[in-house]
Homo-oligomer: A and B are copies of this chain.
Amino acid sequence: MSGAHPEPSAVSSGGSASNAGSRAAKAVAELKSRDRDIMLLTHTSAILGWDQETYLPAKGIDERSAQLALLHGLIHERTIAPENQSLLDAAGAPIGPGAAAGSSTDDAGAADGDPSLPPLDRAFLRRYRRRYERAVKLPQELVVTLAEKTSRAQAVWVEAREADDFPRFAPHLQGLLDLLLEVADRIGYDEHPYDALLDQYEPFMKTSSVDRIFTGLREQLVPIVAAIAEAPQVDASILERAFPVAAQERFGRTVMDALGYSRNRGRLDVSAHPFTTTLGFDDVRITTRYNERFFNSAIFGTMHEVGHGLYELGFADDLRGTLLAEGTSLGIHESQSRMWENMVGRSRPFWRHFYPILRSHFPDALLDVDAERFYRAVNRVAPSLIRVEADEVTYALHVILRFELEKELVSRTLSVKDLPEAWRAKSRELLGVEPSNDRDGVLQDIHWSMGGIGYFPTYALGNLYAAAFMQRINRDLPTLWNEIAEGNCSSLLSWLRTHIHRHGSARTAEELCIEITGAPLSAKPFVDYVWEKYRDIYGLD
């Protein structure tokens, strides 16, 4: 290469710039080739994971774990390959002096690659360098120990939950917490060790921002929940009638098609816990679970996963094969699933079209139920114990509960042994209800057993992003809800693809939010949405 055939623009900026540009372009090409292998191995590991949750024969689990461990080793080896450092140097994106989690040094243009590179290459370098920087800070031994301990902790959590025996789980949680604090120390942080953990799921977001947003959210949600509690309660018992599974599946697939989830690039299967997983750029699969005696599980679970799936299927073709073809943060990911599940799936216009179809699938269960009664039933609000079954109003309170406890654990102001009592106290304080056992309390979620401290906030952030985006969508698409009332969701999908999906992780969550809403994230649009919707349903004023 060495500067032969320089582009005119490069020539005008001088020979040495041209040399640097050509060298940078070559380094980017090499980094992309390495990234492609990492991506292929990551998707391969997703295939094994998907199969494990759907079709793996019972005795296959031991070797499957060994296969996954081998793949994760290959991925890690490539992620931390020392050649990355010199290639990043050559690309004009050298490793900074220990950029801390939540720090915005990544955004400093100077470090995002040679200025002659196209913007997408610079976005690529920003993400690639970030992954490399964080990975090299963690010694192999720490990564392996963490993997082993989480694997064991998960197994213990399953038993402890079943036996309602938190003390059995406690030492494992303590062990994981100690390791995660070591991870945080090694990754580094400016303000709070929780920053380093949160950043793994919601890159560039600081704990102090979440604090500020959640404080506002909590203050405004409390009076709404209180007002709903005083209003006459909605009857949702119709959702617990008999809904034959085969008909649920047929109806779910009808909705899946209507939302624009392509069967040529996706699949719907059954698993114990619903999830979305990307097995290839053109192969994004979702799962659901059926409960014959509770209608909500499958249909809203399916719409939720379809939302995740549409995001993963919407990346622009020029991101193909790179780490930019990923959701930019879990909060943005969750904004997509929650938008389809709640803002569309629990709306009147949606059921104006789909309720007659639904009724034809369940003539027995829904014979005496009109569309309005059904709409109110699926929007029933009531404080409850289990996060995954919570309504969209109280859901955020479940998340705030976990976020506040996690911060205290990470600050060492709460000890693991006191966690069950702290959980009950917080639950009373935030939701007004209290679990009678730890199984429905502190042991209910798998996340901590997987080392996922810092993950929960992204669920509530997703609701807030969704509401913020929807204000703009309603301005951009004035006929949207009339179209949805006719079963046509294509304008919404189109809008999301253009403004969110296609960018993958080439834009950060904050960049997207400012670009779309004109401001950083706040709780207000969500609170406004909730107030308007539930004022109507519960006759508040």
Whether the pair B264, A58 counts as a contact (CB closer than 8 A) is yes
Q: Which of A260-286 contact B (CB under 8 A)?
A: 262-267, 269, 279-283, 285
Residues on the B chain within 8 Å of A264, using CB: 57-59
Q: Which of A41-64 contact B (CB under 8 A)?
A: 41, 43-44, 47-48, 51, 55-60, 62-64
Whether the pair A280, B63 counts as a contact (CB closer than 8 A) is yes
Q: How many whole Å from A46's CB to the nearest CB in chain B?
A: 10
Q: How many whole Å from A234's CB to the nearest CB in chain B?
A: 39
Q: Is A434 an interface residue (CB 8 A)?
A: no
Whether the pair B265, A63 counts as a contact (CB closer than 8 A) is no
Residues on the B chain within 8 Å of A60, using CB: 265, 279-280, 282-283
Contact of A283 among B63, B70, B262, B267 (CB under 8 A): B63
- Whether A283 contacts B37 in the complex (CB less than 8 A), given A47-B48, A67-B44, comes out as no
Whether the pair A267, B57 counts as a contact (CB closer than 8 A) is yes
Whether the pair A283, B44 counts as a contact (CB closer than 8 A) is no
Q: How many whole Å from A345's CB to the nearest CB in chain B?
A: 23
Cα–Cα, bound, A66→B280 (Å): 10
Whether the pair B282, A63 counts as a contact (CB closer than 8 A) is yes
Q: How many whole Å from A280's CB to the nearest CB in chain B?
A: 4
> What 0/1 pattern do residues 61 to 80 of A give for CB contact below 8 A with B?
01110110011001000000
Residues on the B chain within 8 Å of A239, using CB: none
Q: Is A405 an interface residue (CB 8 A)?
A: no
Contact of A71 among B44, B51, B56, B59 (CB under 8 A): B44
Residues on the B chain within 8 Å of A67, using CB: 40, 43-44, 47, 280
The residue in chain B whose Cβ has the minimal distance to the Cβ of A263 is B57
Residues on the B chain within 8 Å of A281, using CB: 63
Residues on the B chain within 8 Å of A269, using CB: 55
Contact of A40 among B41, B56, B70, B280 (CB under 8 A): B70
Residues on the B chain within 8 Å of A263, using CB: 57
- Whether A282 contacts B62 in the complex (CB less than 8 A), given A51-B51, A267-B57, comes out as yes
Residues on the B chain within 8 Å of A62, using CB: 282
Residues on the B chain within 8 Å of A70, using CB: 37, 40-41, 44
Measuring CB to CB, which residues of chain A are less than 8 angstroms from any residue of chain B?
Answer: 37, 40-41, 43-44, 47-48, 51, 55-60, 62-64, 66-67, 70-71, 74, 262-267, 269, 279-283, 285
Given contacts A60-B265, A60-B283, 14 further A-B contacts (CB under 8 A): A37-B70, A40-B66, A40-B67, A44-B70, A44-B71, A47-B48, A55-B267, A57-B283, A59-B283, A60-B279, A60-B282, A63-B281, A64-B283, A74-B74
